[in-house]
A and B are shown apart, each in its own frame.
Chain A
Amino acid sequence: MDTIRYYDIRLVNGHTISIQTENGAVENAGSSYSKKALIRVLGKTGWGYACVSPFDMDDEKAKRAAVERAAKLASFPTVKADVADVPYGTPHSWNASAREQKERPLEEKTEELLTLERAAQLPGIAATTARYAEQYLDVYFEDANGYEARSSVCRTLYTVTAVAANNGDMQMNYEQDAVVGPLRTTDFIGKAESCAKTALDLLSAKAVPGGKMPAILDPAIGGVFAHEAVGHASEGDQVRDGVSVLGPRCGEQVGSKLVTIIDDPSMHGYGYEPFDAEGIAAGPCELIKQGVVNKFMHSRETLAAVGLESGEAGHARAEPGMQPLVRMSNTYIKEGDASYEEILETCRNGILLIGSRGGQVDPGRGVFQFNAKYGYKIENGETTQMLRDVSLSGDILSVLHNISLCGKERRMSSGMCGKGQNVPVSDGAPHVYLTEATVGGAGNA
């Protein structure tokens, strides 16, 4: 008989409906179904995982067989792992089931999406695309302690894309929103129009000459900074493995006292989880507190490995049928007290980066890169020339010290994070002023 020190079973029953329209026609509208269970056993030393699909939680015989199978797999590892004993907490419940959304006819949602797409079809716009998706995930969790948890979460999203063309030049812009709960695409008509206007404006935007300069990050790209530069380096597995520049610096001042960065799975954002992939319900976790490395995000395993005082469990997340990894949820830079005008005036001459096209980090080196949708030159405290294809890179420890102002109003943006598996996240920030940043662009290429 193989040793079983702990086991858990996480079954996810999923149904996703998606609609895509292109240039006013319905490109596709489809459904996909999944039902996958991950059976996880902590054996004498390490973990065994078995993904089974489909799986019936009420079939006790099948459950026993799956646990025994995972236990056999767990007999192979040689690295000793433990799980920290932590309270399960109380699962947070937002209006996430969205039954009304599910019951609305697909025809109605398709018409609404076409209406949204039409709003982006301004003169000068050569192509448009719109996408809508709603995903229902029912999670059933139980573990070796007899603990059981259930959740039912609906996530919905829209994306609208506009391509502007003029005399052979083309520029593209997109807007998206993704929420936990219901969403009506017709509520975003204004966003679709502004998406198209920005694409048209980008036709006359200039490429930015790269170099070091003062920079203002808008809430969207400030959020990506919080996620990429600080969030990934605060993940317990990176800290445990010695590949985070923040790992050895717990309690150390690594940034300006204005900087407080929080991850909160209980927040009503796109990264909301009632409980994590280990059944733990977590609340806000202050990763950076007034510039000091404060806490790391953990799974039960990394908490046990790094130390119970090093942070909080409840941050293990997983795609259906996949092993839990330490992940972010809703991550943001806390608001400061500066007005937008004050930030512009303080910057005087530099660059304003707006929106995010994504980013990436190497937490071991502490180097990150992210790309803005567009930007503006700042001259004498005012925004002037529009700029396209602006990116920013830097090393985490320098840039955190360069934050000298944080705005009063924070906004969150939604997206997916792809650390081996894709999970929904949100991130946000107020406007953030960096006294110096490395800005990249093809302006002097």
Chain B
Amino acid sequence: MPDTVKTENIDLDALLSKGSRLADEVEIYTASFNDLTLEQRGTDISSLFEHAETMVYFRVVKDKKIGISATSDVTKLKEALSAAVSSAKLSDTVIGWNGFPEKQEIPAGENPIDKDLEISAETAAGYLSRMNAGAAKYPEARPVSGAVTISKGRSVLVNTNGICLEREFSDITLGMDAICEDSTGYSYDSSPFSARLNPEKIGEEATYFASSSRNGVNIESKKYDVVFSEDAADALILELFSEAVNGRNILTGKSVYAGKLVGAVASPEISITDVPMKKEGDAWRRFDTEGTPAHDLSIIRNGVLQSYLYDAKTAAQAGAASTGHAHRTGNGSTVISPHCLTISAPEEDVLEKPCLYVKEVIGAHTANPLTGEFSVESANAYLAEGEEFVQPVKKAMLAGNVFDILKGNLTISKETKSLSGALVPKMRIPNLQVI
């Protein structure tokens, strides 16, 4: 049995013990949060929201069949455990199942928590005030709304194989919307660490993009060199890439990369690596939500596919080892996603040569995750040259294929933005169809 751990007055030892009488293996993962959200309308505070919650996720294994359940109602822990046991009876045997991870050495490192961060309305109001100060740089634009969420949390993982791990985390999320005549702008950022955020820049970007996108022109329908902002590159390119290397999609035949391990899938100049403890990233994960140690993982090296992402179950099914990429969903099952993707490709000043710069894409989620084809609308798009936005563009629909883009002459900016699951550069894509 693991070391004794209690979380939010939940006796995990007792639950593990009870579960052990009903199943071969038991795992309990808890995540407790305290957060506060302060919202403003215009530049005045409109509401204050306080939230505290503990989620408890159960997984049990009986005869190599996995059962799951979850509850945010801590008065229903016994029902949830019982539901997980019943669920295991319905599931199919996991071929190759080797059990939940066992206690093993976890890489050294710190948790992504800002110990000095205070969850208070005053702290949040300070961020809003700084965003408003930045927004005031473009007074012709009007902040519509803004929000600050500050949260701290703690997760605890225990299983009957001796795993007992704890992780603390914090998060500050800032966002602002602005409008100028019929033109809108938006900016946001988040980080576990207060010192990494620049609230003034967020406010300034929101009003800048609203202001500078006015009087956009229609442009000719043809192929352009297009530069995606970090946000657009993440929403469209890295999102579909992550799905394509997801071990579950590989196993179930829902990825173009299935069967292409050690094959060329991208330009020889592109390498993509997941670095869970990347200092500049925000993940700082030493282990995943199953307790598997998280290590650097080369996914594409010089254009050649090196690895897929697995959790314990998909790894067993694939006859491979878990890569430590299990995250949790609402019903207690695991989902697979990267911790902190880093991209290596030829670097340049991506806005130096003439291009169409796209700050945001509308409808990124409508891209075809299987084939990689997309046709999306742009927002805050500009014709750019010499590092400057020359002319705002009224409307530009972009059409292409994410996996073909990775095979082409993609170049990236040296600077990156830390987003959920990746350190993202701006990306310059030659000859993209614009409609």
Judge whether B14 is part of the interface by a CB distance below 8 angstroms. Answer: no
User: Inside 8 A of A47's CB, which chain B residues have their CB?
Assistant: 46-48
Asked if residues B73 and A445 are in contact (CB atoms below 8 Å), the reply is no
Partner of B370, one of A25, A53, A163, A358: A163
Asked if residues A79 and B375 are in contact (CB atoms below 8 Å), the reply is no
Partner of B87, one of A29, A35, A73, A241: A29
A103 to B144, CA, bound (A): 49
A393 to B51, CA, bound (A): 38
| Whole-angstrom distance between the Cβ of B379 and the nearest chain A Cβ | 6
A74 to B368, CA, bound (A): 44
Asked if residues A16 and B362 are in contact (CB atoms below 8 Å), the reply is no
Q: Which of A22, A28, A76, A440 has the most CB of B within 10 A?
A: A28
Asked if residues A369 and B362 are in contact (CB atoms below 8 Å), the reply is yes
Judge whether B330 is part of the interface by a CB distance below 8 angstroms. Answer: yes
Judge whether B373 is part of the interface by a CB distance below 8 angstroms. Answer: yes
Knowing A30-B84, A210-B221, A395-B395 are in contact, say whether A362-B184 is a contact too (CB < 8 A): yes
Judge whether A185 is part of the interface by a CB distance below 8 angstroms. Answer: no
User: Inside 8 A of A30's CB, which chain B residues have their CB?
Assistant: 67-70, 83-84, 87, 331-333
Knowing A28-B87, A30-B87, A393-B377 are in contact, say whether A361-B362 is a contact too (CB < 8 A): yes
User: Inside 8 A of B84's CB, which chain A residues have their CB?
Assistant: 30-31
Interface string of B70-87 (1 = CB under 8 A from A): 111111100110011011
Within 8 A of B (CB), among A353-373: 357-362, 364-371
User: Inside 8 A of B332's CB, which chain A residues have their CB?
Assistant: 30, 32
User: Inside 8 A of A77's CB, which chain B residues have their CB?
Assistant: 44-48
User: Inside 8 A of A444's CB, which chain B residues have their CB?
Assistant: 399, 433
Partner of B375, one of A23, A35, A107, A210: A210
User: Inside 8 A of A260's CB, which chain B residues have their CB?
Assistant: none
User: Inside 8 A of A312's CB, which chain B residues have their CB?
Assistant: none
User: Inside 8 A of A50's CB, which chain B residues have their CB?
Assistant: 49-51
Interface string of B53-79 (1 = CB under 8 A from A): 110000000000011111111111001
Judge whether A18 is part of the interface by a CB distance below 8 angstroms. Answer: yes
Knowing A51-B51, A110-B90 are in contact, say whether A33-B80 is a contact too (CB < 8 A): yes
User: Inside 8 A of A74's CB, which chain B residues have their CB?
Assistant: 48
Asked if residues B45 and A78 are in contact (CB atoms below 8 Å), the reply is yes
Judge whether B132 is part of the interface by a CB distance below 8 angstroms. Answer: no
Nearest A-chain residue to B68, judged by Cβ: A30
Within 8 A of B (CB), among A246-268: none
Partner of A33, one of B79, B371, B376, B379: B79
Asked if residues A366 and B182 are in contact (CB atoms below 8 Å), the reply is yes
Judge whether B390 is part of the interface by a CB distance below 8 angstroms. Answer: no
Knowing A28-B66, A242-B144, A438-B397 are in contact, say whether A371-B375 is a contact too (CB < 8 A): yes
Judge whether A235 is part of the interface by a CB distance below 8 angstroms. Answer: no
Binds B, one of A93-101, A165-173, A274-282, A378-386: A165-173
User: Inside 8 A of A110's CB, which chain B residues have their CB?
Assistant: 90
Asked if residues B370 and A46 are in contact (CB atoms below 8 Å), the reply is no
Asked if residues B371 and A389 are in contact (CB atoms below 8 Å), the reply is yes
Nearest B-chain residue to A111, judged by Cβ: B90
User: Inside 8 A of B362's CB, which chain A residues have their CB?
Assistant: 360-362, 367-369, 393
Asked if residues A29 and B91 are in contact (CB atoms below 8 Å), the reply is yes
Q: Which of A52, A210, A361 has the most CB of B within 10 A?
A: A210
User: Inside 8 A of B91's CB, which chain A residues have their CB?
Assistant: 26-29
Asked if residues A442 and B400 are in contact (CB atoms below 8 Å), the reply is yes
A311 to B86, CA, bound (A): 49
A301 to B373, CA, bound (A): 42
User: Inside 8 A of B331's CB, which chain A residues have their CB?
Assistant: 16, 18, 28, 30-32
Nearest A-chain residue to B330, judged by Cβ: A32
| Whole-angstrom distance between the Cβ of A314 and the nearest chain B Cβ | 21
Judge whether B18 is part of the interface by a CB distance below 8 angstroms. Answer: no
Within 8 A of B (CB), among A378-414: 388-391, 393, 395
A444 to B431, CA, bound (A): 11
Judge whether A49 is part of the interface by a CB distance below 8 angstroms. Answer: yes
Knowing A30-B83, A31-B80, A323-B49 are in contact, say whether A371-B366 is a contact too (CB < 8 A): yes
A28 to B67, CA, bound (A): 7
Judge whether A116 is part of the interface by a CB distance below 8 angstroms. Answer: no
Asked if residues A172 and B50 are in contact (CB atoms below 8 Å), the reply is no
Judge whether A149 is part of the interface by a CB distance below 8 angstroms. Answer: no
Judge whether B409 is part of the interface by a CB distance below 8 angstroms. Answer: no
User: Inside 8 A of A172's CB, which chain B residues have their CB?
Assistant: 254, 368-371
A32 to B221, CA, bound (A): 49
Nearest B-chain residue to A199, judged by Cβ: B370
| Whole-angstrom distance between the Cβ of A373 and the nearest chain B Cβ | 10
Within 8 A of A (CB), among B78-103: 79-80, 83-84, 86-87, 90-92
Judge whether A321 is part of the interface by a CB distance below 8 angstroms. Answer: yes
Judge whether A84 is part of the interface by a CB distance below 8 angstroms. Answer: no
User: Inside 8 A of A53's CB, which chain B residues have their CB?
Assistant: 52-54, 72-73
Judge whether B268 is part of the interface by a CB distance below 8 angstroms. Answer: no
Nearest A-chain residue to B255, judged by Cβ: A170
Asked if residues A34 and B41 are in contact (CB atoms below 8 Å), the reply is no
Asked if residues A48 and B48 are in contact (CB atoms below 8 Å), the reply is yes
Nearest A-chain residue to B66, judged by Cβ: A28
| Whole-angstrom distance between the Cβ of A327 and the nearest chain B Cβ | 16
| Whole-angstrom distance between the Cβ of A445 and the nearest chain B Cβ | 4
Judge whether A338 is part of the interface by a CB distance below 8 angstroms. Answer: no
Judge whether A126 is part of the interface by a CB distance below 8 angstroms. Answer: yes
Nearest B-chain residue to A74, judged by Cβ: B48
Judge whether A36 is part of the interface by a CB distance below 8 angstroms. Answer: yes
A69 to B52, CA, bound (A): 13
A295 to B40, CA, bound (A): 26
Asked if residues A107 and B42 are in contact (CB atoms below 8 Å), the reply is no
Nearest A-chain residue to B435, judged by Cβ: A210
Knowing A23-B252, A33-B76, A440-B375 are in contact, say whether A445-B50 is a contact too (CB < 8 A): no
> Considering the complex of A and B, which 3 residue pairs feature the smallest CB-CB distances, nearest first?
A440-B375, A371-B366, A210-B435
Residues of chain B whose beta carbon lies under 8 Å from any beta carbon of chain A: 38, 40-42, 44-54, 66-76, 79-80, 83-84, 86-87, 90-92, 121, 125, 142, 144-145, 177, 179, 182-184, 221, 223, 252-254, 256, 330-333, 362-363, 365-371, 373-377, 379, 395, 397-401, 432-433, 435
- Can you list 20 contacts pairing A with B, beta carbon distance less than 8 Å? A25-B92, A27-B91, A30-B332, A31-B87, A31-B331, A35-B72, A36-B53, A48-B47, A49-B47, A53-B73, A73-B50, A106-B90, A129-B252, A241-B41, A243-B144, A364-B182, A440-B376, A440-B377, A442-B400, A444-B433
Instruction: List 17 additional contacts besides A391-B363, A442-B374; criterion CB under 8 Å.
Output: A27-B92, A30-B87, A30-B332, A31-B69, A33-B71, A49-B48, A50-B50, A77-B45, A79-B46, A172-B369, A242-B179, A321-B51, A357-B366, A362-B379, A368-B377, A388-B373, A393-B395
Residues of chain A whose beta carbon lies under 8 Å from any beta carbon of chain B: 13, 16, 18-19, 22-23, 25-36, 46-54, 69, 73-74, 76-79, 81, 106-107, 110, 126-127, 129, 163, 165, 170-172, 207, 210-211, 241-243, 245, 321, 323, 357-362, 364-371, 388-391, 393, 395, 438-442, 444-445
